Structure 1
Amino acid sequence: MTLELASERVVPKPWGKTDLRPWSELGRDGAPIGELWFERADPSAPEPSLLLKLLFTDEALSIQVHPNDAFAQQIGLPHGKTEAWYILSADPEAKLALGLKHKLTASQLRTAIGNGSLPDLVHWQQVQTGDAVLVAAGTIHAIGAGLVIAEIQQHSDATFRLFDYGRGRELHVDSAVGAATPGPPLPHAVAQRLNHARLVVARSPYFVFEQIDLPSDSCWEIDASSETWILLLDGNASFNLLTVRPGQAVYVEKQQAHLRAGPSGTKALMAYVAIEPHHARLVGRKAEQLDTMTVRIPPTPGATRTAPRRSRASRRS
């Protein structure tokens, strides 16, 4: 049974931002920060199935691809990497690339990598705040400049670069060609509204990703039968006796927790391990019921914020 405030790992990247506000006060030393990873408060805790991140882009990332489970296991990795993005902020011309404009053979893809023509073949699309995108493993993709993105993914850092804008870093041509499905992206489910407070913005065989909008001072019960991450976007909230503010994340697993929205309401993202949306994951409660139940719940051990750690090297590029 676990309810804890996630720790934050700072990951420097050449394409990152030097100012992460309003999402974080970290990374104010002038070095570009590309990612904030939300992790278990106890470094010795078992590795979660999912990884929640914030991405900050002042420059475009490389054009890249992640392997599926089968390809990852062929090269000695435990699993692949499917991910989903939720746009927290976007400059007016900000864009993403998802898939190719048309299907290529493996030989044609290898040629496009070699002659540098791949940026003209990927399918770029403009995005705005509140958009969500599912990036299935095998999909060639890229993230442009001027974005802040919340990402949920399988807990893997297997990334193969196909094009890197002349940064001089290694391209992973053989692995990328082997892992890629070089064509337009597969269609995926549109957003699904579960009720007035919950909107499923992306789903995959590995996770469900929701936007939740809770009225002011409303009370809710979380039934975290499986691993669950909640990232606050706007308004404070309390989880049992733990108070959380925007930019912070909570990890809950195998526990029921009581959530009270702040006086201005609460907007958050919730991701959990499941194939289908779980309707009992977040259920409204009357305030008087919650007050009665909360006083019987002792403080959650370890529910304190830990000091951020500087990152080990990461292969997202």
Structure 2
Amino acid sequence: MTIEFARTVSVPRPWGVVGGSFPFTTDDDGVAIGEIRYERPGQPVSEPSLLLKILLTSQPLSIQVHPDDAYAQSIGLPSGKTEAWYVVSAAAGAKVAIGLNQQMTPEHFRESVQDGSISTIVAWQPVSTGDVVSVPAGTIHAIGADLVIAEIQQRSDTTYRIFDHGRKRELHVESALAVANAGPMVVQARPLALTDERTLLVSNTHFVFERLRLASGTAWWLEAARETWLLVLGGLAHVGSSDVTTGDAIFAQSDRVNINVGPDGLIALLAYSGVGGPIPHALQRITQAGSPDLKFDETMPEPSSFTAATTGGGNQRKEIIR
């Protein structure tokens, strides 16, 4: 039984930001920070299977692709990397790329990497605050500049870069060819309202990703039977034994988490292990009598993935990976 206030780890990236903006500020001493990772405190016996992080971009990231579980395990890695993004903030004109705008042969793919035309063949699309993008393993993708994105992913750092905007880092063209779906992304469904408070953003075998909107002054039970992450985007609450505000995160597993919402309400992202799909009664309101008020439309379908298409950390302990 576990309920923990997550610590943050700042990771320098060439496309990151210096200083950041509230609530995602970093003690970086002038170093460009591109990721803020949420980790369990102390020395846990085992790592979580999911990784929650914030991406902060001042420049475009590389065009890249991640392997699936089968390929990763064939080369001795524990897992592949499927991920999903929630746009916390976006400047005017901000964009991401998902898939390609045409099907490509291996020969055409190699040529486009060599001459740089791959940067125009990826399918760029504008994004704005609140948009959600599902990125299954094998999807060629990129994130543009001037974005703050909350990302949930399988816990893997295996990335095959295809194009890196002249940064002269190593490219992994042959590995990318081995794992990539070198064509357009399949059209995905939109988010689905599960209750007045819960919106299903993405659901797959690896994780379920939801957005929560809880009214001010209300009390809830969050059933964290599986590995669970809660990231606060707005408002105040007392969660477990911690006071949380924008930018804070909670890790829980095999436990019931009490949430007492503050006067401004609470907006949060919820992510948990995807085996078994969305949990029908994961969030239960506590009535004045102290019993849960159950609400869920159990006739709703459970989609495999979704694309749609706010923002700190009071008492987090911060680290920087150099």
Structure 1 residue 233 displacement after superposition: 0.6
What CA distance in whole angstroms lies between the structure 1 residues aligned with 2:89 and 2:105? Answer: 36
How big is each residue's C-alpha offset from its partner over 1:79-121, in whole Å with a ceiling of 9 and x where there is no partner? 1000000000000010000000011122221221122110110
Instruction: Write out aligned runs for 1:253-292 (5 A).
Output: 253-275=253-275, 276-287=277-288, 289=290
User: Closer, same or farther in 2 for the Cα pair 1:287/1:233, shift >3 Å?
Assistant: farther
Confirm or deny that 1:311 pairs with 2:321: yes
Aligned-pair Cα RMSD in Å: 1.5
Structure 1 residue 205 displacement after superposition: 1.4
User: Larger deviation: 24-33 or 191-200?
Assistant: 24-33
Match of 1:217, SS state, is coil
Instruction: Write out aligned runs for 1:95-244 (5 A).
Output: 95-244=95-244
Q: Which runs of 5+ in 1 are unaligned?
A: 291-303, 313-317
**Identity, % of aligned positions:** 44
User: Larger deviation: 178-187 or 261-270?
Assistant: 178-187
Match of 1:289, SS state, is coil
How big is each residue's C-alpha offset from its partner over 1:6-39, in whole Å with a ceiling of 9 and x where there is no partner? 0101100010011222123323422110000000
User: Closer, same or farther in 2 for the Cα pair 1:286/1:120, shift >3 Å?
Assistant: same
Equivalent AA in structure 1 for residue 244 of structure 2? V
What CA distance in whole angstroms lies between the structure 2 residues aligned with 1:30 and 1:179? Answer: 37
Match of 1:102, SS state, is coil
1:27–1:33 contact (8 Å) kept in structure 2: no
Equivalent AA in structure 2 for residue 133 of structure 1? V
How big is each residue's C-alpha offset from its partner over 1:214-236, in whole Å with a ceiling of 9 and x where there is no partner? 00011110111100000001011
What TM-score, normalized to structure 2? 0.90
How big is each residue's C-alpha offset from its partner over 1:205-259, in whole Å with a ceiling of 9 and x where there is no partner? 1111011000001111011110000000101111133111110100010001111
Structure 1 residue aligned with 2:63: 63
What CA distance in whole angstroms lies between the structure 1 residues aligned with 2:45 and 2:249? Answer: 17
2:96–2:142 contact (8 Å) kept in structure 1: yes
1:20–1:27 contact (8 Å) kept in structure 2: no
How big is each residue's C-alpha offset from its partner over 1:254-306, in whole Å with a ceiling of 9 and x where there is no partner? 0011111111100000000024211211111124528xxxxxxxxxxxxx956
Structure 1 residue 52 displacement after superposition: 0.1
What CA distance in whole angstroms lies between the structure 1 residues aligned with 2:280 and 2:31? Answer: 43
What CA distance in whole angstroms lies between the structure 2 residues aligned with 1:305 and 1:74? Answer: 41
What CA distance in whole angstroms lies between the structure 2 residues aligned with 1:252 and 1:288? Answer: 26
What CA distance in whole angstroms lies between the structure 1 residues aligned with 2:287 and 2:7? Answer: 31
Structure 1 residue 169 displacement after superposition: 0.6
User: Larger deviation: 95-104 or 18-27?
Assistant: 18-27
1:97–1:143 contact (8 Å) kept in structure 2: yes
Structure 2 residue aligned with 1:20: 20
Structure 2 residue aligned with 1:80: 80
What CA distance in whole angstroms lies between the structure 2 residues aligned with 1:87 and 1:99? Answer: 18
What TM-score, normalized to structure 1? 0.91
Equivalent AA in structure 2 for residue 193 of structure 1? A
How big is each residue's C-alpha offset from its partner over 1:188-221, in whole Å with a ceiling of 9 and x where there is no partner? 3320100110101112211110110000011110
1:36–1:55 contact (8 Å) kept in structure 2: yes
Structure 2 residue aligned with 1:297: none
What CA distance in whole angstroms lies between the structure 2 residues aligned with 1:289 and 1:39? Answer: 32
